[in-house]
């Protein structure tokens, strides 16, 4: 079955007859506006993806370098995401801001997100220091490790500005970098899952248990750090 298939079950690729694109059907003025909107939206997502790519490359280089020269890799794993257009629009709407790509670029700093999971708490701050040493601008720091959220959430959040060298210009792109330990990540993933399943609200008894679990995870981090420090002093 090729693109000319006219069967009604051809799915989105097999409309019964060729259609003019929705854009072509607009008036000249509307078409210009629609094309400009598409270009700006595409640029917004593209440049943030490049911001993530740049940062991931730096982190991967440090990870590999530390692994081979320092015998300890401060990075357990890295993940990233670009916020969906739906989530971008919803966040702008919640804040009463214009819903367009220019407004998103101006007001949102979490369109691009990178999450780094580290073995030990000291690794979290080591990576923060490496970012500083490489003159990567940190525009905001939220240290939920030093001051955990009331529900027990722990992580270090940095909003950084990453240079993206395009063919004709250099852009500074905001990326939200979340740094946390394996124990913090485990807690956050499970809490997110529970919250999602309960439609955003957890019963009070649940909340208290979750907080206790966060404290247990923090205790585990302290214990592991102590073992790590002692193992570093032990000849191998």
Instruction: Please list every residue from 45 through 104 that binds ligand 0O2, using CB under 6 A.
Output: none
Of 68, 67, 76, 74, the residue nearest 128 (C-alpha): 74
- 195 CB burial (10 A radius; 0-12, 13-18, 19+): middle
Instruction: Please list every residue from 19 through 48 that binds ligand 0O2, using CB under 6 A.
Output: none
Contacting ligand 0O2 (CB under 6 A), which of 5, 43, 76, 110?
Answer: 110
Contacting ligand 0O2 (CB under 6 A), which of 25, 79, 141, 151?
Answer: 151
Contact indicator for 119, 177 with CB cutoff of 8 Å: no
* Piece of the chain touching ligand 0O2 by CB under 6 A; list 14-22, 63-71, 146-154, 210-218: 146-154
Of 118, 114, 14, 138, the residue nearest 57 (C-alpha): 114
Structure-token match 């009331």, residue found: 150
Residue 188 interacts with ligand 0O2 (CB under 6 A): yes or no? yes
The H-or-E segment that residue 163 falls in is strand 156-165
Nearer Cβ to ligand 0O2 (66/162): 162
Which two three-digit tokens encode residue 132? 């500083």
DSSP-H helix ranges across 134-179: none
Nearer Cβ to ligand 0O2 (45/188): 188
Q: Give least dist CB 8 to ligand 0O2, A.
A: 38
* Piece of the chain touching ligand 0O2 by CB under 6 A; list 50-58, 119-127, 185-193, 225-233: 185-193
Question: Does the annotation count 176 as an active-site position?
Answer: yes
């Amino acid at each position: 079955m090729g693109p000319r298939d006219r069967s009604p079950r051809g799915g989105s690729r097999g409309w019964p007859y060729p259609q003019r694109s929705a854009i072509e059907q607009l008036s000249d003025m509307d078409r210009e506006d629609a094309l400009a909107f598409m270009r700006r939206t595409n640029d917004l997502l593209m440049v943030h993806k490049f911001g993530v790519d740049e940062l991931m490359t730096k982190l991967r280089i440090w990870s590999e370098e530390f692994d081979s020269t320092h015998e300890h890799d401060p990075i357990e794993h890295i993940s990233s995401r670009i916020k969906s257009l739906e989530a971008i629009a919803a966040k702008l709407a919640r804040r009463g801001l214009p819903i367009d790509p220019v407004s998103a670029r101006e007001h949102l700093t979490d369109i691009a997100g990178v999450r780094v999971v580290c073995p030990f708490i000291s690794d979290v701050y080591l990576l923060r220091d490496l970012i500083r040493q490489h003159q990567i601008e940190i525009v905001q720091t939220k240290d939920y490790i030093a001051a955990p959220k009331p529900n027990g959430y722990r992580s270090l959040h940095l909003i950084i500005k990453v240079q993206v060298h395009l063919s004709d210009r250099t852009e500074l792109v905001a990326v939200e970098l979340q740094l946390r330990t394996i124990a913090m990540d485990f807690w956050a993933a499970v809490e997110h899952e529970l919250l999602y399943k309960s439609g955003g609200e957890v019963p009070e008894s649940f909340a208290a248990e979750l907080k206790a679990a966060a404290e247990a995870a923090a205790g585990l981090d302290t214990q592991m750090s102590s073992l790590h420090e002692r193992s570093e002093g032990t000849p191998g």
